[in-house]
Amino acid sequence: MSDGHSGIENRQVNRGGSGNFQLILAYLKQGTGRGEFVIHATNTSYSSGLRPSEFLMGIGFDHYLGQCLFHHDNCYYREIATLQRDAYGLENDNQVQLVNYAFQTFAEKIGELFQLRRQEDRILRGIGVGPIGRTIFGQSVVIEINEKDIPLWVDEVKFSKLRELEKQRDAIQKEIIDLSVFLPLLYGTGSLLEEAVIKALQFLGLDAERAPEGFTADIFAQTTDGSRKFGLEVTGIAGSVKKDSKKLTQLLEFERIKEHGEKTVLVANTHNATPITERRGIEDFTPQVLDFLGRHPILLMTGWELYCMVRDVLENTLTRESAIQTLYEGSGRLQLGKSTDR
């Protein structure tokens, strides 16, 4: 049985991750002519409750006890596909693309999946039930080969124009994936929305990460030099934010206990089940909320407005520095102007 690491060649073919997980998809070539696609995963963060290592083993990964080429001594691996003939044989490109797509999708969602499993773990432990393991990937997929498939050695003599087009295709696909991570700002909730907010803040130039479990803020962020710090609460709801929302209490509690002059920000993905074009004129925060929080230097904004900030930076109508300044210096209801008209 393969240990996911031993072979005559072990090379990276894809990488990704979300949350604090880092994933590598590698192609492991065996001397027998067999090839394996193996996911190598690691997570060096500490968390209470369900540990990342328990989570990975619970979804079917094995802990590698040796030195991993990619993650050293903290590697958890899972073989997801095999080639009966090595990289110099005939390879079904469509099936390999599916393997890469499955890996990329898994990598983008593993952070969210971990948070969901942690919630499940807390509930089960609360009723005296141990964690339930459920593997994500089934038995390793065997990639079939036939004579119509293109030999991999053809890559050595491809037309330069074809190589150029393939690079453009790969770059476009990567850009599509990179930009799609912001879409949950428009419809998401829970950990999916939090991850999108973190990605947006990082895009704007801030160092951002989830706050420890149970803290009064969901996300911490700061400029690279640490001169501007933020504590953000995040919520996704189908309506508007009302005065009875528990998020208001959490905002005021963070405002009370913060120690480093952090800017307190609420990112509320309001009306998240309503198309953007139908949200025009609908209030996102009730007058009572605006009055209640208006006595404090707290910034209130919607997921749509954060999305528009990212869009404006992409379109070069807003600088990252200006966006960060707006977030840090603004208080009350954020006003970005006509660029956010729905």
pLDDT tens, 215-269?
A: 889 999 999 999 999 999 999 999 999 999 999 999 999 999 998 999 999 999 9
In a domain, residue 103? The reply is yes
In a domain, residue 155? The reply is no
In a domain, residue 161? The reply is no
Residues 201, 134 within the same domain: no
Residues 272, 141 within the same domain: no
Residues 202, 104 within the same domain: no
Q: What would the pLDDT profile of 41-56 be if each residue is shown by its tens digit?
A: 998 776 667 889 888 9
In a domain, residue 323? The reply is yes
CB-neighbour burial class of residue 153 (10 A; exposed 0-12, middle 13-18, buried 19+)? exposed
Q: What would the pLDDT profile of 15-34 be if each residue is shown by its tens digit?
A: 999 888 999 999 998 877 77
Residues 92, 199 within the same domain: no
The residues near 272 (Cβ < 8 Å, ≥ 6 apart) are: 186, 187, 188, 189, 236, 237, 238, 303
Structural domain including 73 reads 9-149
| The pTM of the whole model exceeds 0.75 | no
Residues 228, 142 within the same domain: no
pLDDT for 88 beyond 50: no
In a domain, residue 256? The reply is yes
Residues 140, 192 within the same domain: no
Measure the CA–CA gap between 287 and 267, rounded to whole angstroms: 17
- Looking at per-residue pLDDT, the higher value among 53 and 98 belongs to 53
Strand partners, 162: none
End-of-domain residue from the set 106, 130, 149: 149
Residues 299, 248 within the same domain: yes
End-of-domain residue from the set 132, 149, 166: 149
Q: What is the pLDDT of residue 174?
A: 82
End-of-domain residue from the set 96, 127, 149: 149
Measure the CA–CA gap between 267 and 122, rounded to whole angstroms: 26
Structural domains of the chain, count: 2
Q: Worst-scoring range by mean pLDDT, 97-101, 301-305, 323-327?
A: 97-101
In a domain, residue 46? The reply is yes
In a domain, residue 169? The reply is no
Residues 205, 126 within the same domain: no
The residues near 8 (Cβ < 8 Å, ≥ 6 apart) are: 29, 30, 31
